[in-house]
Amino acid sequence: MICPKCGTDNPEGSRFCSNCGSQIPSILFKNEANANNDQSLNNNDSNNQGFNNQGFNNQGFNNQGFNNQGFNNQGFNNQGFDNQNQGFNNQGFNNQNPAPAFAKPPINKAKLFKIIGISAGAVIAIVVTILLIVNRKTKIDLNDYIKVNYTGYNGYGNTEVDFDYDKLYTDVCKAAGFSKKELEDIELTDLILDTKATTKKAKKIYNIYKACDKLDYKLSKESKLSNGDKIKLTFKFDNDLAKKIKVKFVGKEKELEVKGLKKIEEYNPFDHITVTFEGMAPNANVNIEYDEDDDYISLFNFDYDYDKDYHYDLGDEVTITLSSYSGEDSDEDLEDYYASQGIKVTETEKTYTVENVDAYASEPEDLDTSIMSNMKSGARDAIISYFASNKSYIRRGSLKYEGYFFLNNKDSDTWDYHNIIYVIYSTKVTSKKKEFKPTTVYLPVKFYNAIKYADGTVSIDDLDADSYDICGDDGPEYGWWDNVKGYKRIGVMKNELLTSNKSNYITYNEME
pLDDT at 104: 52
50, 263, 331 from 268: Cα distances, Å: 128, 16, 16
The Cα–Cα gap between 391 and 491 comes to 27
Per-residue pLDDT band at 134 (split at 50, 70, 90) = very low
Instruction: Kindly state the average pLDDT of the residues 36-44.
Output: 40
Amino acid at 502: K
Q: What are phi and psi of 204, to 5 degrees?
A: -65, -45
Question: Is residue 133's pLDDT more than 60?
Answer: no
pLDDT tens digit sequence for 251-272: 999 999 999 999 999 999 999 9
pLDDT at 127: 53
pLDDT at 456: 86
184 against 275, higher pLDDT: 275
Torsional sign, CA 201, 203, 205, 207: negative
The Cα–Cα gap between 338 and 320 comes to 19
Question: Is residue 429's pLDDT more than 90?
Answer: yes
Amino acid at 195: T
Contact 356, 277 (CB under 8 A): yes
pLDDT at 136: 60
pLDDT at 464: 55
pLDDT at 107: 60
pLDDT at 73: 38
Per-residue pLDDT band at 234 (split at 50, 70, 90) = very high
Burial-class residue 361 by CB neighbours within 10 Å (0-12, 13-18, 19+): buried
pLDDT at 404: 97
Per-residue pLDDT band at 399 (split at 50, 70, 90) = very high
Strand partners, 254: 233
pLDDT at 162: 95
Angle, nearest 10°, between helix axes 165-176 and 199-213? 150
pLDDT tens digit sequence for 305-364: 988 888 888 889 999 998 876 655 567 777 888 888 888 889 989 999 999 999 889 899
pLDDT at 400: 97
- What proportion of the chain, given as a percentage, has pLDDT over 90? 42
pTM to 2 decimal places: 0.50
Question: Is residue 130's pLDDT more than 80?
Answer: no
Which pairs count as long-range contacts for 213-217, CB under 8 Å and 24+ apart, including other chains? Answer: 214/238, 214/241, 215/142, 215/168, 215/249, 217/142, 217/146, 217/161, 217/163, 217/251
Amino acid at 441: V
Which pairs count as long-range contacts for 483-487, CB under 8 Å and 24+ apart, including other chains? Answer: 484/394, 484/429, 484/439, 484/441, 485/386, 485/441, 485/443, 486/441, 486/442, 486/443, 486/444, 487/441, 487/442, 487/444
Contact 232, 255 (CB under 8 A): yes
The Cα–Cα gap between 82 and 73 comes to 8
pLDDT at 30: 44
Count other Cβ atoms within 10 Å, centred on residue 211. 23
Question: Is residue 41's pLDDT more than 60?
Answer: no
**Prior bond to 11 cis, omega within 30?**
no
Question: Is residue 131's pLDDT more than 50?
Answer: no
Chain-centroid distance, C-alpha 349: 28
Per-residue pLDDT band at 37 (split at 50, 70, 90) = very low
pLDDT at 273: 92
pLDDT at 297: 80
Question: Is residue 33's pLDDT more than 80?
Answer: no
Instruction: Kindly state the average pLDDT of the residues 132-154.
Output: 82
The Cα–Cα gap between 444 and 495 comes to 13
The Cα–Cα gap between 325 and 336 comes to 14
SS3 state at 277 = strand
Return the exposure string of 372-385: e unless at least 16 CB atoms fall within 10 Å of the residue's CB, then b.
Answer: beebbebbbbbbeb
Contacts of residue 500, Cβ cutoff 8 Å, sequence gap at least 6: none
Which pairs count as long-range contacts for 420-423, CB under 8 Å and 24+ apart, including other chains? Answer: 420/446, 420/447, 420/448, 420/501, 420/505, 421/367, 421/375, 421/446, 421/447, 421/448, 421/450, 421/460, 422/446, 422/447, 422/471, 422/497, 423/375, 423/376, 423/378, 423/379, 423/447
SS3 state at 168 = helix
Instruction: Kindly state the average pLDDT of the residues 19-48.
Output: 51
Question: Is residue 143's pLDDT more than 70?
Answer: yes
Q: Chain-wide mean pLDDT for the chain?
A: 78
Q: What is the chain's length?
A: 512
The Cα–Cα gap between 428 and 439 comes to 5
Residue 125 is classified by DSSP as H
